[in-house]
């Protein structure tokens, strides 16, 4: 083994590294907890944990520099450290079985968290009583949906993530007979009809950029990004559609418009909408009944429950389920939780979570508990044997 490799090995298997990483993690979590006041929970997760480095802008500029290791960096090194130390010191011994099982559980827990943070998708399903839904909507991610609605049976959808709009420039897609030029984009903006006062009393400074759809009648006021947990950013963009024979017009899009806008081009009917990202499923949920109980004499909720009819497209499942607090529906790798409701108790809102790693924390906790039981059991047995041996000696 060359000295360099040995140095690397000694670094990754050392207990000092573990201690330093744990200490840095404590600082990171403390800092992130304080920062949650300004950034909110989503912002903190992005800035501190789902990143290799915590970035801060150099004061007075917009140049980000890494100032502290982030969650992926510390978590990744912790896994490497744990795995490396294990491989290096591993000896197949019955006496160590408990410790090894416990550490294996810990490695699985860290891996599970990594998979969750990378792969988990959360969305909402809003169900009015009697209504049927085949999709759920993200509550943070937006998409520009361009629908070809010519076929009476279904829509052909091209879904463009908001991040692509934020990049600016133009978009060309093989399914679209036109090019989309992004004239401007605001990550958060308020809309008001031009014949009404703008929100906050200020009038939009510029004239309408839009030439088609509802846009010419709407004033756009850019707002600061919000990080509050109960507020959403509502982006807005002006998009010019250009075909081979020239511009088709400029449309304003925003989730605040509330409805898609329609136009005809190349013998087909199109709809455009900037909307919360949709996730379609091969099954349908129908809300049969929503119940909301309160504690007597107060408005404090006691229980919400949604009676749901689940029907899959392949007709394999066709059943009723009751979803209430702590009793979600698990189906097709998704979990549906009772999350909220709207005034009047006629609309139920389910939280839909897809987390391929959801079972890993359970397995790892069982492994760690078993490992500790085995470890303490071995010690206990040894202790009991010693005592009984001592008792035999003293009596003999």
Residues 74-133 within binding reach of another protein (CB under 8 A): 76, 80, 83-84, 87, 114-115, 118-119, 124, 126
Contacting residue, 91, 224, 316, 343, with another protein by CB under 8 A = 343
Write down the least CB distance from residue 283 to another protein, Å. Answer: 12
Residue 256 is a binding residue for another protein (CB under 8 A):
yes
Residue 303 is a binding residue for another protein (CB under 8 A):
no
Tell which phi-psi region holds residue 20, choosing left (phi > 0), alpha (psi between -120 and 50) or beta.
alpha
Query: Looking at beta carbons only, is 334 or 374 nearer to another protein?
Result: 334
Chain positions 145 to 204 lying near another protein, rule: CB under 8 A, are 147, 149, 152-161, 163-164, 167, 171, 173, 175, 190-195, 199
Residue 314 is a binding residue for another protein (CB under 8 A):
no
Contacting residue, 45, 261, 286, 312, with another protein by CB under 8 A = 261
Burial of 70 (0-12, 13-18, 19+ CB in 10 A): buried
Write down the least CB distance from residue 308 to another protein, Å. Answer: 18
Write down the least CB distance from residue 372 to another protein, Å. Answer: 25
Stretch that binds another protein, among 56-64, 91-99, 293-301, 388-396 (CB under 8 A): 293-301
Residue 379 is a binding residue for another protein (CB under 8 A):
no
Contacting residue, 97, 99, 104, 141, with another protein by CB under 8 A = 141
Q: Which residues contact 341 (CB under 8 A, 6 or more apart)?
A: 290, 292, 304, 347, 348, 349
Neighbours of 19 (CB within 10 A): 10
Q: Are 177 and 265 spatial neighbours (Cβ–Cβ below 8 Å)?
A: yes
Query: Looking at beta carbons only, is 33 or 229 nearer to another protein?
Result: 229
Contacting residue, 3, 297, 316, 396, with another protein by CB under 8 A = 297
Query: Looking at beta carbons only, is 160 or 285 nearer to another protein?
Result: 160
Q: Are 119 and 357 spatial neighbours (Cβ–Cβ below 8 Å)?
A: yes
Write down the least CB distance from residue 100 to another protein, Å. Answer: 15
Buried b (16+ CB within 10 A) or exposed e, 73-108: bbbbbbbebbbbbeeeeeeeeeebebbbbbbbbbbb
Contacting residue, 31, 68, 263, 265, with another protein by CB under 8 A = 263
Stretch that binds another protein, among 1-9, 20-28, 34-42, 269-277 (CB under 8 A): 269-277
Q: Please work out the total of residues on this chain that contact another protein, with binding judged by CB under 8 A.
A: 79
Q: Which residues contact 307 (CB under 8 A, 6 or more apart)?
A: 287, 288, 289, 290, 291, 320, 321, 322
Q: Which residues contact 271 (CB under 8 A, 6 or more apart)?
A: 145, 146, 147, 149, 155, 260, 261, 262
Write down the least CB distance from residue 178 to another protein, Å. Answer: 15
Residue 347 is a binding residue for another protein (CB under 8 A):
yes
Write down the least CB distance from residue 60 to another protein, Å. Answer: 30
CA proximity to 127, closest of 283, 339, 322, 286: 286
The Cα–Cα gap between 267 and 312 comes to 34
Q: Are 358 and 83 spatial neighbours (Cβ–Cβ below 8 Å)?
A: no
The Cα–Cα gap between 391 and 396 comes to 8
Chain positions 207 to 246 lying near another protein, rule: CB under 8 A, are 212-214, 216-218, 229-230, 232, 234
Give the position of tokens 């013998």.
Answer: 267
Residue 41 is a binding residue for another protein (CB under 8 A):
no
Give the position of tokens 């200020």.
Answer: 202
The Cα–Cα gap between 383 and 41 comes to 49
Write down the least CB distance from residue 30 to another protein, Å. Answer: 22
Contacting residue, 33, 57, 170, 340, with another protein by CB under 8 A = 340
Stretch that binds another protein, among 25-33, 36-44, 59-67, 135-143 (CB under 8 A): 135-143
Query: Looking at beta carbons only, is 44 or 257 nearer to another protein?
Result: 257
Query: Looking at beta carbons only, is 270 or 375 nearer to another protein?
Result: 270
Judged by DSSP in three states, 224 sits in coil
Handedness of CA 271, 138, 321, 290 (dihedral sign): negative
């Amino acid at each position: 083994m060359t000295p360099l490799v040995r140095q690397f090995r000694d670094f990754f298997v050392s207990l000092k590294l573990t201690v330093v990483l744990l200490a840095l993690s404590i600082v990171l979590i403390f800092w992130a907890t304080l920062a949650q006041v300004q950034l909110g929970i989503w912002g903190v997760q992005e800035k501190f944990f789902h990143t290799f480095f915590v970035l801060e802008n150099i004061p007075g500029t917009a140049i980000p520099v890494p100032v502290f290791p982030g969650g992926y960096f510390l978590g990744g090194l912790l896994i490497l450290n744990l795995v490396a130390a294990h491989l290096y010191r591993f000896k197949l011994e019955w006496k160590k079985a408990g410790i090894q099982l416990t550490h294996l559980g810990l490695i699985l827990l860290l891996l599970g968290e990594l998979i969750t943070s990378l792969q988990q998708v959360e969305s909402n399903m809003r169900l009015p009583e009697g209504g049927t839904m085949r999709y759920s909507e993200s509550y943070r991610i937006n998409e520009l949906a361009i629908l070809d609605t010519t076929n009476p049976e279904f829509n052909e959808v091209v879904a463009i993530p908001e991040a692509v709009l934020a990049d600016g420039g133009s978009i060309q897609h093989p399914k679209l007979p036109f090019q989309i030029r992004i004239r401007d984009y605001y990550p958060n903006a308020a809309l008001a009809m031009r014949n009404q006062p703008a929100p906050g009393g200020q009038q939009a400074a510029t004239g309408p950029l839009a030439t088609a759809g509802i846009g010419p009648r709407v004033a756009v006021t850019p707002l600061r990004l919000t990080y509050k947990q109960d507020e959403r950013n509502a982006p807005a963009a002006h998009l010019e559609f250009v075909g081979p024979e020239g511009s088709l017009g400029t449309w304003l899009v925003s989730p605040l418009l509330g409805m898609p806008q329609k136009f005809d081009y190349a013998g087909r009917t199109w709809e455009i909408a900037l909307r919360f990202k949709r996730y379609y499923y091969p099954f349908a949920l129908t809300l049969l009944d929503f119940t909301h109980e309160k504690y007597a004499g107060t408005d404090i909720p006691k229980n919400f429950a949604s009676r749901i009819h689940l029907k899959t497209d392949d007709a394999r499942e066709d059943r009723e389920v009751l979803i209430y607090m702590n009793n979600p529906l698990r189906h097709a790798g998704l979990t549906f939780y009772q999350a909220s409701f709207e005034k009047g108790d006629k609309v139920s809102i389910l939280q839909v979570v897809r987390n391929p790693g959801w079972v890993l924390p359970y397995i790892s906790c069982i492994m760690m508990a078993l490992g500790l039981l085995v470890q303490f059991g071995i010690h206990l047995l040894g202790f009991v044997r010693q005592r009984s041996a001592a008792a035999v000696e003293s009596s003999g």
